[in-house]
């Protein structure tokens, strides 16, 4: 298959109906495509996932009945067509003809008339269709109802801003390897290569590119001078504050962005643990590129009695599995893969990991708890509960309003991704 629209329909069907992740599906669907077609496929898939409820609603208004069963994949082809008409700069006649042409590759030429007619009706009736869809909050904000409800409850003053930020394309941030260059020095190297960027004092190791670029166009990327990592994620190692000779546990380490950052900041002895062996392989690749070393172990952080050698750690980073609701702009499939019921399960898993790992910290040692979630259940509520039940845990404020009852720093999507951090020290 090489028709981009047909590939997009199939990819979206696999993600939305079969629960596959876009990160896994896209590389597979892109095999053998030219760089231009790869970029187009990615743009269409991201776009449809960003606007899925409104696209569904337009089709509901235009079709007598939704395409079901064996014809279900063509419902996604309609979303692909309408998305191009509504949001892309493809000339409308090309958007329609390319979408209809996809039917040849999908061996469904019999649907030519229907797909053509629906796309043309959308073109004619766009303004009324949009107006009607906007009356429904899920379609207006293009997020699942359960998530809109939870964000509204948690952020009564700025929930709309959060939902809007999730719909935007995320900037590309670099983390400068401080063991090789200062942020300022690397900024000069980018200037010399005409790569436009800005610095931000809140993220001392970070550089925001004006537009995304191929990593191999970045000076000395292959020898680890910089890595691609969102600005918010760069705060983990800074809050952990690793020192030379520290023994450090990175308990949920894969793919290793934060492990590498810790080792760039200090000559420490790091154990990088993750329960997913394939993802752990990526930690190895990242360490090799940058020329760093850590001990890697595939194990369950909530079961330390199986793998722990009884030597306590000076510092522990717990970047726990979470809903990833802070990184929706980078992974719009999260909106459709997560269910409301996942949050409770994730919060229980995070609580288990935190409670199981705490005894592994030395007295006087530091633990940083992190998620890329914006939901209080995984963040402030989780840490407040832990503090209330653990007299040995002292809470270290990360900003002036960081208190034991409302602990931690919650970053919302905008300049950086949405992230949460809390810092705890074990009392002597
Ligand atoms: C948010 S990601 C970590 C990202 C990583 N710290 C980085 O900066 O590249 C969470 C990781 O936790 C791992 N994980 C999930 N459950 C786990 C468990 N019970 N024990 C250890 N790792 C677990 C997942 O495989 C995933 O790689």
Q: Where are the beta strands (DSSP E) in 203-326?
A: 206-209, 226-228, 247-250, 269-274, 295-298, 313-319
Of the candidates 296, 423, 304, which has an alpha carbon nearest to the alpha carbon of residue 360?
A: 304
Neighbouring CB atoms inside 10 A of 75's CB total 20
Structure tokens at 214: 């191929």
Q: Which residues line ligand 1 (CB under 6 A)?
A: 233, 252-258, 273-276, 279, 300-302, 319, 321, 353
Domains located in the chain, CATH noted: 4-142 (1.10.940.10), 173-228 (3.30.70.1170), 232-426 (3.40.50.150)
ipTM, two decimals, is: 0.99
| C-alpha 301 – ligand 1 centre gap (Å) | 9
Binding site annotation covers 258? yes
Instruction: Measure the CA–CA gap between 398 and 239, rounded to whole angstroms.
Output: 8
Nearest CA to ligand 1 atom 17: 275
Structure tokens at 393: 């845990």
| CA-to-CA dists, residue 329 to 64, 140, 168, 341, angstroms | 33, 17, 6, 22
pLDDT in the model for residue 1: 61
pLDDT in the model for residue 115: 97
Binding site annotation covers 300? yes
Instruction: Measure the CA–CA gap between 175 and 278, rounded to whole angstroms.
Output: 24
Q: Which residues of the chain have pLDDT under 70?
A: 1
Residues 199 and 183 sit within 8 Å (Cβ to Cβ): yes
Active site residue 139: no
Burial of 373 (0-12, 13-18, 19+ CB in 10 A): buried
pLDDT in the model for residue 428: 72
Binding site annotation covers 256? yes
Supply φ then ψ for residue 80, to 5 degrees.
-60, -45
Q: Where are the beta strands (DSSP E) in 99-205?
A: 173-176, 197-199
Q: Which residue out of 263, 275, 280 has the highest number of ligand 1 atoms within 8 Å of its CB and is therefore the one to mutate?
A: 275
Tokens 């009324």: give the residue. 128
| C-alpha 318 – ligand 1 centre gap (Å) | 9
């Amino acid at each position: 298959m090489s028709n981009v629209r047909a590939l997009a329909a199939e990819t979206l069907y696999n993600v939305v109906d079969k629960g596959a992740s876009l990160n896994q599906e896209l590389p597979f669907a892109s095999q053998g495509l030219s760089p231009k077609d790869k970029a187009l496929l990615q743009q269409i898939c991201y776009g449809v996932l960003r606007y899925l409820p409104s696209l569904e609603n337009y089709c509901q208004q235009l079709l007598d009945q939704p395409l079901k069963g064996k014809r279900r994949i063509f419902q996604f082809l309609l979303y692909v067509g309408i998305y191009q008409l509504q949001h892309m700069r493809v000339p409308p006649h090309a958007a329609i003809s390319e979408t209809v042409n996809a039917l040849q590759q999908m061996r469904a030429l019999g649907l030519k008339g229907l797909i053509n007619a629906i796309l043309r009706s959308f073109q004619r009736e766009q303004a009324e269709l949009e107006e009607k869809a906007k009356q429904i909050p899920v379609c207006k904000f293009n997020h699942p109802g359960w998530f809109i409800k939870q964000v509204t409850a948690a952020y009564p003053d700025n929930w709309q801003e959060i939902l809007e930020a999730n719909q935007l394309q995320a900037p590309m941030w670099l983390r400068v390897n401080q063991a090789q260059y200062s942020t300022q020095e690397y900024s000069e190297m980018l200037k010399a290569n005409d790569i436009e960027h800005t610095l931000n004092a809140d993220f001392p190791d970070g550089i925001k590119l004006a537009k995304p670029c191929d990593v191999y166009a970045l000076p000395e990327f292959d020898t680890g001078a910089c890595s691609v990592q969102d600005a918010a994620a760069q705060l983990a190692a800074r809050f952990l504050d690793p020192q030379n000779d520290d023994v450090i546990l990175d308990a949920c380490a894969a793919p290793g962005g934060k492990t590498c950052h810790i080792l760039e900041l200090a000559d420490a002895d790091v154990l990088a643990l993750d329960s997913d062996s394939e993802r752990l392989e990526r930690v190895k690749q990242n360490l090799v590129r940058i020329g760093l070393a850590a001990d890697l172990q595939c194990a369950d952080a909530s079961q330390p009695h199986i793998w722990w050698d009884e030597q306590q750690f000076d510092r522990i980073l717990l970047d726990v599995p979470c809903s990833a609701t802070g990184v929706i702009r980078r992974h719009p499939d999260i909106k459709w893969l997560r269910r409301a019921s996942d949050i409770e399960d994730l919060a229980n898993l995070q609580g288990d990991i935190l409670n199981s790992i705490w005894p592994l910290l030395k007295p006087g040692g530091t633990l940083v708890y992190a998620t890329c979630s914006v939901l209080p259940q995984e963040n402030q509520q989780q840490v407040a509960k832990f503090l209330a039940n653990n007299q040995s845990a002292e809470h270290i404020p990360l900003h002036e309003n960081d208190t034991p009852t409302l602990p931690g720093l919650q970053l919302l999507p905008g300049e950086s991704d949405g992230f949460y951090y809390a810092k705890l020290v074990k009392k002597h």
